[in-house]
Amino acid sequence: MDQQQLRNFEARCIQEEQPFCTAACPIHIDVRPFMACIAKGDMRGARRVLDRTMPFADIVGRICDQSCRTACKRREIDSPLAIGSLERYCVSTVPAVIKPPKLPGKGGSVAVIGSGLSAMTAALDLARKGRNSLILTCDEAIGGTLRTYAEELLPAQALATAVETLDFYGVSIQFGCSLTNEFFQTIRQDHDAVFLDRDCADLHGLAVDCAHPDPFTLGIGREGCFAGGGCLENSYSVIKQVEDGRRAALTIERYLQKVSLTAQREREGACPTRMYTVTAGIQSQQEVLPADQQTGFTAAEAVQEAARCIQCQCMECVKECTSLQEFHDYPKQLVRKIYNNEAIVQGTRSANRMINSCSLCGQCQVVCPNDIPVADVCLASRRNMVEKSTMPPSAHDFPLQDMEFSQSDFFAMTRHQPGSDSSRFLFYPGCQLAGSAPQAVEQTYLHLTQQLSGGVGLMFGCCGIPAHWAGRQELFAKTMQDFLFEIEEMGNPIIITACSSCYSIFKEFTPNLSLSSLWQILEDIDLPEQRGLIPQQPMAIYDPCTARHEPEIRDSVRRLTKKLGFSIEEHPVSGELADCCGYGGLMQFANPELGGKTARKKGQRSVHDGLAYCSMCRDNLASSGKRIAHLLDYLFPSADPEDPTLRRNPGFSRRHENRARLKQRLLTTLWHEESDMTPEYKKNELFITPLIMELLNSRHILEDDIQKVIFQAEQTGRRLVDPESGHFLASYKPVRVTYWVEYEPGMQGFIIHNAYSHRMSLPGDVK
């Protein structure tokens, strides 16, 4: 990722945009934390928020005309927050908490003519920036129009506090000035800049046109002179006075620093925001009105009203994604972390775990108002890590070994239909379905050969998606190349995939091949005669994340379930919004806990039993405790009468075994080829209790690994023994991981008592 791409991605994430109220406020009061503080009864905290941005909060907080209120998102639900009344409550009950710092004096003197709120604000802001500022007014007290407010609305004490504040920051005030042209000339000559507050009756006598200041800089076409504030069209807006005073102070500061008066000021004053907040589903709650209009809110009423604030933010993607939640990230932070991670030439890359925990499922991009491709960013970063050899070795070792197994002779094979030497179709069930439900694969294949003419070939293998997800581009490219070669050898048949992951891979990387999903094919041919019992109760379809962009496949599945007589209840997070089951992006290997959490979340999307058409979804959700079946379980039921929603996840070892046995069985029964692929070390019979099997699965230890340990130990005699129990303990390191197995020789084989592994090397490791 280069800096340009980073900026581009960052700009597309709008989570850090201002909320609607703050954007609409000309001085951008941070309304969200203000409301959050009041809602939890922290009135001092609320006052602190105001003190940070609001000049003369004792005045403005009481009488602000709250242009923010119309922008409040809550109006879409019921009624906007009473922001003004809450500010009034806050400043009436809590005195100032913080005084913003005064910067050291840096010269430059500014005369402020008039003493209305914009004059006060300009003088205060400039004094805080370290400029000498002087208020010159014909009045005998400051405030201008403010002085006409009723005591109940704006107590005289608030103005007295303002005078103290101005004094604290070193603003001097000259009362009773007579604003003649001559006086103005002298003032202009004695100061570097002048601001004229139009909330001052005597300005009319001056030969200076203050009526039409530039809206951006408040310049009035005279060197160093600026004007603002006052009544506009006979209406006096408090916040407009503050805005003009603040804008004038910023202009004058730029003027004194001799920099551009206009550059990068778009965010000053009320401005648009790209914030995106979904209000659907938020409970309606009527506005809290003070019981006594005269005295305003009580503390309890203020807390209750402020609690209505929905704290507008986007977080659309984070709301759904376990991975973004886990790392407390929204995409803007995520891309920054990834960028920083890549920039580290040598050293700790703390974002590795986060990058490898993404399921690459693309759900976030669908819900994002700006389509930020988080999955693409994470995948690109994984490729980058692989290229630079910074990928943690343990992240994807296990699934890549699984892939290697599926591509080895133990499973991989390609054949024309028995008795045929050409194929119009080629059934590609995929490695996981073959591992999970081998008998369904076999029956599906037989059914296809009976129903389709022109020859249906069969191909076992792995589509390479683990390598793709792991960022292993070379390995993946080789897989694709080999696959293309095989397909060409077969005479370019129409490929029928059962797994939507395989489908997505072939569609993206071998676009010239003819491709169809099993579900589209099954929809058009006769249903098998021997079908399973279709449940009466409703079931929820669980779309896999890899069918997100395949509406035709999803529709085929639904039509097929209808044809079969299912009663389907859709849940809202399906279709193109579907969650990942934890397998996507190899999440469950890089971050097993998160994988489990992700599967549970997906399972909980519906209270009904699930119906999946991806075997990884089926197995992972089953592991998470969800009652869920695979659609093929009903089309091609097994001889075992067990309820298919209760079928257990076979686990990693059993999947290997299932694939290898399926291949051998089909070669024998359909193609009459004799083969015994069993290597020497696999010939020992193992006895493993379900409890130990579960342990092995959770520790990613295969029966195959155990066979190797025992074979090696028995061959060399290198092992430990516990004389008491007669158990042996041996270790072996086939590649990178050292496996330890505690076992006991039995009558027909070996009883397995425990197994564990580590990656650290010992002296004299047996390889």
**What residue ranges bind another protein (CB under 8 A)?**
340, 344-350, 352-353, 356, 390, 392-395, 590, 716-725, 728-729, 731, 738, 740, 754, 756-764
Shortest Å, Cβ 340 to another protein: 8
Classified as helix, coil or strand, 612 is: strand
Between vectors from CA 80 to CA 331 and to CA 233, what angle results, nearest 5°?
110
Q: Which residue has the tokens 């589209």?
A: 520
Alpha helices in 173-219 (DSSP H): 181-190
Torsion, CA 134, CA 137, CA 141, CA 146, rounded to 10 = -100
Q: How far apart are CA 449 and CA 423, in angstroms?
A: 10
DSSP state letters, 16-42 = TSPPHHHHHSTT---HHHHHHHHHTT-
**Distance in Å, CB of 338 to another protein, minimum:** 14
Q: C-beta of 656: minimal distance to another protein in Å?
A: 23
Choose between 64 and 755: whose C-beta lies nearer to another protein.
755
CB 587 to another protein: min, Å: 13
- Give alpha helix (H) positions in 227-278: 238-257
Alpha-carbon distance 552 to 531, whole Å? 24
CB atoms within 10 A of CB 521: 21
Shortest Å, Cβ 723 to another protein: 6
Rounded-to-integer distance, Cα 590 and Cα 594, Å: 9
Task: Give the 3-state secondary structure of residue 195.
Answer: strand
What CA–CA distance (Å, rounded) separates 308 from 81?
Answer: 7
Minimum CB–partner distance for residue 751 and another protein (Å): 17
Least Cβ distance, residue 760 to another protein (angstroms): 4
Contact indicator for 467, 500 with CB cutoff of 8 Å: no
C-alpha–C-alpha distance, residues 125 and 252, integer Å: 10
CB of 721 to another protein, least distance (A): 4
Residues 6+ apart with CB under 8 A from 283: none
State in angstroms the smallest separation of the CB of 767 from another protein.
14
Output 347 or 419, the one with its CB closest to another protein: 347
Distances (CA, A) of 361 to 302, 544, 578, 611: 44, 9, 9, 20
Compute the chain's Rg from CA coordinates: 37
Query: What's the min distance (Å) between Cβ of 695 and another protein?
Result: 11
For another protein, the closer CB: 397 or 482 = 397
Amino acid at 142: I
CB of 458 to another protein, least distance (A): 39
For another protein, the closer of residues 421 and 724 by Cβ is 724
How is residue 582 written in tokens? 């934890």
Q: Please, what is the minimum distance in Å from the beta carbon of residue 719 to another protein?
A: 5
State which residue, 675 or 754, has the beta carbon closest to another protein: 754
> Least Å distance between CB 738 and another protein?
8
Taking Cα atoms as reference points, which of 20, 216, 41, 248 lies closest to residue 135? 248
CA distance 28 to 262: 19
Q: Which is nearer to another protein, 350 or 675 (CB)?
A: 350
Q: State in angstroms the smallest separation of the CB of 553 from another protein.
A: 35
Question: Alpha-carbon distance 460 to 443, whole Å?
Answer: 15
Q: Specify whether the CB–CB gap between 116 and 241 falls below 8 A.
A: yes
Please state, in angstroms and as integers, the Cα–Cα distance from residue 134 to each residue in 124, 131, 190, 202, 728, following that order: 10, 10, 11, 18, 92
Q: In sequence order, what are the residues at sequence separation of 6 or more whose Cβ sits closer than 8 angstroms to the Cβ of residue 755?
A: 692, 695, 696, 699, 701, 705, 706, 709, 739, 740, 741, 742
For 437-480, the three-class secondary structure string (H helix, E strand, C coil) is: CHHHHHHHHHHHHHHCCCCEEEEECCCCHHHHHCCCHHHHHHHH
- Nearest-angstrom CA–CA distance, 555 and 634: 18
